[in-house]
């Protein structure tokens, strides 16, 4: 199995190192990751400045761009082969509910999916990397089990996996979940710069709004590993009928 690994915390982050170490003996693994932290960069691509790729002593390569840049470059010219699987993470903190829209971790995995390659975004629920070894083992086991079930290489899919920061023996089983929802983000934070200018910092994410049974929030709160299949189609299929009637009325305004 050939695996491409990326993340959004930067190529030196403990999460990506742990994921690589867990998989290097069971697959051919290539790491192409951002030079610096690129959290919340989503699917952004860099179009107006040049990108450079550097290799470090452990074989990792880093790019002065976004997570999606890294995967895009790897798949369109950097690698001389097509990976069987794209992995992103392990992220320093949860990517659940509305987080997935902003997540650079999910963005990296999604870039692989857009190229027709199965992809998984891995995150730990809490920050600071505690019990990271257990999360890495669970990530490796999931990849190996999917390989054994012939789920890798047949068709593209995109999975979002969140792992509680628990010791291996305390982690619950894998649960298939839907995304929950969050309340709106906290108020923007303002500060004065040394020059007297007002600086703005994006506020913290809001608390969970929908954490009902069946959501990723609920599963991880119970100690389970949450797995959510994602899709790229943003069409509001449930309301196409309503908008068809509305569009007809709007069109009639032109007459």
Q: What is the pLDDT of residues 233-245, one digit of tens each?
A: 999 899 999 988 8
Token readout for 103 is: 């997540």
Distance in angstroms between the alpha carbons of the first and the last residue of the chain: 60
Peptide bond into 184 cis (omega under 30): no
Indicate the pTM of the whole model: 0.91
Question: 82-118 pLDDT, tens per residue?
Answer: 999 999 999 999 999 988 999 999 999 999 999 999 9
What is the C-alpha to C-alpha distance for residues 66 and 233, in angstroms, rounded to an integer? 22
What is the C-alpha to C-alpha distance for residues 34 and 53, in angstroms, rounded to an integer? 9
Question: 32-79 pLDDT, tens per residue?
Answer: 999 999 999 999 999 999 999 999 999 999 999 999 999 999 999 999
What is the C-alpha to C-alpha distance for residues 136 and 21, in angstroms, rounded to an integer? 8
> β-strands 181-182, 208-210: how paired?
antiparallel
Token readout for 8 is: 């959004």
What is the C-alpha to C-alpha distance for residues 41 and 104, in angstroms, rounded to an integer? 5
């Amino acid at each position: 199995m050939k695996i491409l690994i990326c993340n959004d915390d930067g190529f030196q982050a403990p999460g990506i190192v742990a994921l690589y170490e867990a998989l290097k003996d069971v697959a051919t693994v290539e790491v192409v990751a951002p030079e610096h932290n690129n959290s919340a960069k989503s699917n952004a691509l860099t179009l107006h400045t040049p990108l450079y790729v550097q290799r470090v002593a452990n074989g990792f390569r880093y790019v002065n761009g976004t997570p999606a840049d890294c995967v895009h470059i790897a798949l369109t010219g950097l690698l001389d082969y097509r990976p069987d699987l794209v992995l992103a993470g392990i992220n320093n903190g949860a990517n659940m509910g509305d987080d997935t829209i902003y997540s650079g971790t999910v963005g990296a995995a999604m870039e692989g999916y857009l190229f027709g390659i199965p992809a998984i975004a891995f995150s730990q629920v809490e920050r600071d990397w505690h019990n990271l070894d257990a999360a890495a083992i669970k990530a490796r086991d999931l990849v190996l089990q999917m390989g054994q079930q012939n789920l890798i290489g047949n068709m593209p899919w995109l999975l979002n996996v969140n792992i509680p920061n628990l010791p291996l023996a305390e982690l619950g089983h894998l649960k298939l979940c839907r995304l929950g929802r969050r309340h709106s983000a906290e108020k923007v934070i303002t500060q004065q710069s040394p020059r007297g200018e007002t600086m703005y910092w994006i506020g913290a994410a809001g608390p969970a709004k929908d954490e009902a049974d069946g959501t990723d929030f609920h599963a991880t709160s119970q100690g389970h590993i949450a797995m959510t299949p994602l899709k790229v189609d943003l069409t509001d299929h449930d309301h196409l009928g309503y908008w068809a009637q509305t569009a007809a009325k709007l069109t009639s305004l032109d007459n």
